[in-house]
Amino acid sequence: MVHISGSSIVIKTLKCLGVDVIFGYPGGAVLPIYDELFKDNAIRHILVRHEQGAVHAAEGYARATGKPGVCLVTSGPGVTNIITGLQNAYMDSTPIVCISGQVATFLIGTDAFQEADATGIAGPCTKHATLVRDVNQLARKIHEAFYIAKSGRPGPVLIDLPKDVQVSTADYIHPESEIVHPTYKPSIRSDISVIQQAVDMMKYAHRPVFYTGGGVINSGDQAGALLYDLANITNFPVTSTLMGLGGFPASDSKFLGMLGMHGTYEANLAMYHADLIVCVGARFDDRITGKLSEFSPGSRVIHIDIDRSSISKNVHADIPIVSDVSYALKDIFSLWKKICSTEDQSSKLNGWWQQINEWRAVECLKYQQSTTVIKPQYAVDRLYAATKDMDVYITTEVGQHQMWAAQRYKFESMRRWVTSGGLGTMGFGVPAAVGIQVAYPDSLVIDIAGEASFLMTMQEMSTAVQFRLPVKIFILNNERLGMVRQWQQLLHGERYSSSYSESLPDFCLLAKALGCHGIKCEDPADLDRCIKEMIDYPGPVIFDCVVEKDENCFPMIPAGCPHNEMLLGDQPYSSGSESDDDDQYDKHVMV
């Protein structure tokens, strides 16, 4: 045993846990830890420009690597500035551990300088928040934090550390075995009898669909491979939430695309008319279900989720399976192979696939091309064409550009798509890209952004410059708060209240001021050349892609409407060849 300071215990424990990078911002209440970082050069520290950026960077690192991201901030405003990031990580099930400094224990409750009730503030937006008052408990508390963050449904954990605990000394005791929390013991595998019930229900379905979410990604590569094998052996169609993109290959014929508010026509109608939904690691949020009372009215539901509280919270599950996705899919696959004939199953679903292909024929993602102005859909298409065969990671901000990226950029593998789903945090993409680039310095990392979102955390490009991180910011600049403007046009009588961005900076001059390379493109004919310039430039790039100002993102299910009521924009609606049973597949599509 070695008698060392609390701050030394922090660094020693983080090293023991395999932490190689911390995203943070120093302040008085964490200077002892920063001093240890300086003396022990084993862990890299990335100095962000705002504490919110530290959390989002840690999220990007975690989402791309599968390992918990770590951030370090000071007390008071340092910790209050991370709350948005903690809530974002909580809603998107991202494992991060944040260490915040706190005033000395004898000052807690006195309204001391830069004091804030960190655990009280962060409690509702973390899996666990703890104030460590005893240096002898510090190592164990850190191990517990990592265990809680990455086990069960992943999420953020906060460790609040008073300054006197950081400078106190104690014997460092390395845990002899993996930490197991005395009360937090998530279920990771369901009883096989429940799996048998699920397989029996799947066997007799005529209009089934796999509805997949971020749980597939969080469960790991094995889950993606098992989902692929199960879809092939069952011949079930697959659709995905925003967070689940990449969990199933986008090029596969069984993939219907993303579903929900801006999902594809075929995915939404398949969900509406299904007789069985097999939900794999998703949570039936409002952007997916639309009008809850009319969501998939004729279906039964099998719900696989590691978080028991998510099952039947919004949509009743006929068969609840509390399990890690990998275990559940493995068990379902094994039982299916024993009792089901692949040939018979494929034949039984021919009519269902015929109907799905008729819906696909609508080509709901079509748009009117222009030779004089860059359409945002075209910009994403050309970016995808230029990068699809590269080692590329895509982050986004939040808004129309996010939906166009989700609709049009095709992800073939997991962890290549990192976006803010549950909270919808503008400003997420830039620091998330920084975190990914730190993890994978030789990969191409692109943030598909809107100009308004970019302005929220653009200072993190200074971080990218300092640490030589060649992130690329691809701004779809329409000079509007695009999604707000679209809703105002379609749902609020074209009353455009505060949705126009005046006095935008010259992004090329801004890039120069920050030490980045700036590119501006307004002509569709120049777009491919400019994208190549962005990719080839060896450092950080801010690309100002000036696009059509008033383009809307379609398809769109208006808030409060069911899946079979979609806005398809100005496209003429063609139903293709109707199903033999017109009543069964009645379509109510507003054009």
Residues annotated as catalytic are: 51, 113-114, 163, 483
Token duo for residue 240:
């995905």
Rounded to whole angstroms, how far apart are CA atoms 189 and 326? 9
Q: How distant is the alpha carbon of residue 20 from its chain centre?
A: 23
Q: In a 3-state reduction of DSSP, which class is residue 460?
A: helix
Give CA–CA dist 63/95, Å, rounded.
8
CA pair distance 23, 544, nearest whole angstrom: 28
Peptide bond into 555 cis (omega under 30): yes
Residue with tokens 């696909």: 360
Could you count the other beta carbons within 10 Å of the beta carbon of residue 435? 34
91 near 422, Cβ under 8 Å?
yes
Strand runs (DSSP E) across 176-261, as ranges? 208-212, 238-240, 255-258
SS3 content of the chain, % helix, strand, coil (to 5): 40, 20, 40
Query: How far apart are alpha carbons 556 and 263 in whole angstroms?
Result: 7
Q: Which amino acid is at 523?
A: D
Check: CB of residue 273 under 8 Å from CB of residue 207: yes
Residue whose C-alpha is closest to residue 452's, from 405, 509, 501, 419: 501
d(CA 162, CA 76): 12
SS3 454: helix
Q: Name which of 400, 366, 356, 361 is nearest 268 in CA terms.
A: 356
Strand, coil or helix: what is 132?
coil
Q: Which amino acid is at 340?
A: C
What one-character-per-residue DSSP string does 476-536 give? EE-SB-HHHHHHHHHHSTT---S-B--S---HHHHHHHHT-EEEEE--GGGHHHHHHHHHH
**Among candidate residues 200, 211, 142, 150, the one with its CA nearest the CA of residue 174:** 142
- φ, ψ of residue 513 in degrees (nearest 5): -65, -35
The set of residues, in sequence order, having a beta carbon less than 8 Å from that of 40 and lying 6+ positions away, is 8, 11, 15
Nearest to 282 by CA among 223, 238, 216: 216
Tell me if 86 sits within 8 A of 58, measured CB to CB: no
Q: How far does the chain reach from its first CA to its final CA, in angstroms?
A: 72
CB 422 within 8 A of CB 88: yes
Only one residue has tokens 């240096």, namely: 135
Check: CB of residue 482 under 8 Å from CB of residue 61. no
- Classify each residue of 296-317 as buried b or exposed e, where b means 16 or more C-beta atoms within 10 Å of its C-beta: beebbbbbbbbbeebbeeebeb
CA distance 361 to 405: 21
